[in-house]
Structure 1
């Protein structure tokens, strides 16, 4: 896992990169959040490929548990990926509603993530 630092409008954003799944549980999300916060980051970017596939099955409650941690600690999150492949109405609604809050963002590109988190 590597953390790439971005500074947008004086907001320090951590871009987390890895070739492996790094978040499999709410505890993994909390550990990542704590690590980024400890290093002085205000906001976090992760990639869809670094999340367990179960994240996108809302019945597992993994997504809700992980995103609740970010909300509780007031650390905004952007998840970069291609979300059109998910056919479930519930996940589509979840993504839509999350994007409305601007605290949890599902975006297609790093540029979109930095733009959303940099405001």
Structure 2
């Protein structure tokens, strides 16, 4: 299934398919950003299934590299889905998620409806 542009609360969001290629690092993040530009999206909604376990192990710096790509282009990046098993692994990820969710560009949400609500509240 391809990535599809949706408008959530008036915001163009590229909703990435769960069965698409994994975002293993900055190269794959750049591919998503290119697709966002071609479709006119300002946010990407990336399912947890598209992220490798290394994304959730902050010491690997995979998350930092991916997130930084989106921030550099002033694009929103939402991780969509259940990350509870990753949160159980340590406090660093919990802190990162909490800090991200207080910001305006990177969010961790349980589903697209939660993303829609966050976008509506901006």
TM over 0.5: yes
Query: Offset at 1:104?
Result: 0.3
Tell me the distance in 1 between the aligned counterparts of 2:116 and 2:22: 21
Partner of 1:34: 34
TM-score (norm 1): 0.90
Task: Look up the SS of the partner of 1:33 in the other structure.
Answer: helix
Report SS of the residue matched to 1:106.
strand
Runs of at least 4 residues off by over 3 Å: none
> Which TM-score applies when normalising by structure 2?
0.88
Q: Which residue of 2 aligns with 1:106?
A: 108
Output the CA distance in 1 between the equivalents of 2:20 and 2:41: 22
Unaligned 5+ runs, structure 1? none
Deviation track 1:51-107 (CA, whole Å, cap 9, x = no partner) reads 111000001000001000100101111111212222210001000000000310001
Classify the secondary structure of the residue corresponding to 1:12.
strand
Q: Is the 8 A contact 1:47 1:81 kept in 2?
A: yes
Aligned Cα root-mean-square deviation (Å): 1.5
Quote the residue 1:83 is aligned against. 83
